[in-house]
């Protein structure tokens, strides 16, 4: 047999062996590839791909279902290609899911930081208001102390320089409002309190007749409380100074 013919026969034999090997490889079900694709798709689902990357996950799931049917039909070569698609789409879905989860985490972190800053600002504003109120109260207390000291000094001077005062007027338990009077002038009457700043005592004792402390009418008869302590009087004076209605 000529050498050239032997060479041709050898090439044909090798080709037949290659084809048989290829056919025998395709005849084997892709069990390992199928399990691997299922694992990848399941992992994507467990990571939340169905919610964060629904399009890609649906493609991966559909490809896996199609590959399973192709394996049952014995079309193993086509099943291998479909399984490759299932793995690819699963990988894309997983990457999108991780990216969106990172975005959500960053957004939650941003919102938490914004809320913390807002709370801090609110606390600072409340502290500022508290300090202002405390400062105002201290000023009021200082003013009240100055007025009390001034009155005490004035009273001492009057006692030293003026002749004995006439007898004190008879204090009234009820008093009639005169034309043009208000609660302050009423309280300043000698037979009432002789102190305009004590008008809140009259107001509180006659709330059934007085709707607005700045509006009283001639002819009204008011009860004048006489059972109030010095602390009650001081509180009334302080209230009158703060309201500053007259």
Report the pLDDT value the prediction gives residue 146, as an integer from 0 to 100: 87
Taking 80 as the threshold, does the pLDDT of residue 20 lie above it? Answer: no
CA distance 23 to 15: 12
CA distance 141 to 133: 12
178 and 91 assigned to the same domain = no
Report the 10 Å Cβ neighbour count for 181. 18
The reply to whether 224 falls in a domain is: yes
In this structure, what token pair is assigned to residue 38?
A: 């299922």
Report the pLDDT value the prediction gives residue 169, as an integer from 0 to 100: 79
In this structure, what token pair is assigned to residue 220?
A: 């009204």
CA distance 78 to 144: 98
Task: Look at 33-42, 101-110, 164-173 and tell me which has the smallest mean pLDDT.
Answer: 164-173
The reply to whether 178 falls in a domain is: yes
Question: Between these two residues, 61 and 158, which has the higher pLDDT value?
Answer: 61
Q: Which of 43, 35, 39, 90 is nearest to 62 (CA)?
A: 90
Taking 50 as the threshold, does the pLDDT of residue 9 lie above it? Answer: no
Distances (CA, A) of 235 to 42, 197, 214: 77, 10, 19
Residues 6 or more apart in contact with residue 63 via CB below 8 angstroms: 37, 82, 83, 85, 86, 89
CA distance 34 to 42: 12
In the listed set 105, 134, 156, which residue is the last one of a domain according to the structure? 105
The reply to whether 44 falls in a domain is: yes
With cut-offs at 50, 70 and 90, classify the pLDDT of residue 12. Answer: very low
> What is the extent of the structural domain holding 66?
3-105
Mean pLDDT of 41-49: 94
Taking 50 as the threshold, does the pLDDT of residue 227 lie above it? Answer: yes
CATH of the domain at 181: 3.10.350.10
In the listed set 59, 76, 105, which residue is the last one of a domain according to the structure? 105
With cut-offs at 50, 70 and 90, classify the pLDDT of residue 152. Answer: confident
Summary mean pLDDT of the chain? 86
With cut-offs at 50, 70 and 90, classify the pLDDT of residue 154. Answer: confident
Report the pLDDT value the prediction gives residue 166, as an integer from 0 to 100: 67
Taking 70 as the threshold, does the pLDDT of residue 1 lie above it? Answer: no
Report the 10 Å Cβ neighbour count for 216. 21
What is the total count of domains within the chain? 2
The reply to whether 232 falls in a domain is: yes
Tens-digit pLDDT profile for residues 185-214: 999 999 999 999 999 999 999 999 999 999
Three-class secondary structure of residue 98 per DSSP: helix
14 and 100 assigned to the same domain = yes
Mean pLDDT of 19-23: 36
CA distance 226 to 237: 16
With cut-offs at 50, 70 and 90, classify the pLDDT of residue 162. Answer: low
The reply to whether 136 falls in a domain is: no
101 and 12 assigned to the same domain = yes
The reply to whether 93 falls in a domain is: yes
Taking 50 as the threshold, does the pLDDT of residue 179 lie above it? Answer: yes
The reply to whether 129 falls in a domain is: no
The reply to whether 21 falls in a domain is: yes
In the listed set 51, 74, 105, which residue is the last one of a domain according to the structure? 105
Outline where DSSP puts E strands in the chain.
Answer: 174-176, 221-223
Tens-digit pLDDT profile for residues 125-146: 889 898 988 888 888 988 888 8
Taking 80 as the threshold, does the pLDDT of residue 10 lie above it? Answer: no
Taking 50 as the threshold, does the pLDDT of residue 19 lie above it? Answer: no
Residues 6 or more apart in contact with residue 28 via CB below 8 angstroms: 76
Tens-digit pLDDT profile for residues 230-243: 999 999 999 999 99
Whole-model pTM?
Answer: 0.41
In this structure, what token pair is assigned to residue 124?
A: 């600072």
């Amino acid at each position: 047999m000529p050498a050239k013919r032997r060479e041709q026969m050898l090439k044909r034999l090798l080709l037949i062996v290659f084809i048989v090997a290829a056919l025998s490889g395709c005849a084997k079900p892709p069990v390992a590839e199928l399990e691997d694709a299922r694992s990848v798709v399941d992992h994507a689902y467990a990571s939340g791909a169905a919610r964060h990357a629904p399009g890609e996950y649906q493609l991966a799931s559909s490809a896996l279902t199609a590959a399973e049917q192709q394996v049952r039909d014995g079309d193993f070569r086509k099943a291998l290609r479909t399984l490759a698609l299932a793995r690819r789409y699963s990988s894309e879905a997983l990457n999108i899911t991780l990216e969106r989860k990172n975005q959500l985490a960053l957004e939650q972190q941003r919102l938490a930081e914004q809320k913390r800053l807002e709370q801090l600002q609110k606390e600072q504003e409340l502290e500022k208001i508290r300090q202002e109120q405390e400062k105002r109260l201290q000023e009021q207390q200082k003013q009240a102390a100055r007025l009390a000291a001034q009155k005490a000094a004035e009273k001492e001077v009057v006692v030293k320089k003026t002749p004995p005062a006439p007898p004190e007027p008879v204090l009234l338990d009820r008093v009639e409002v005169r034309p043009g009077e208000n609660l302050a002038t009423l309280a300043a009457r000698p037979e009432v309190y002789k102190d305009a700043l004590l008008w809140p005592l009259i107001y509180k004792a006659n709330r059934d007749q007085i709707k607005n402390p700045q509006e009283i009418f001639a002819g009204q008869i008011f009860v004048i409380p006489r059972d109030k302590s010095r602390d009650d009087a001081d509180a009334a004076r302080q209230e009158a100074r703060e309201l500053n209605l007259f």
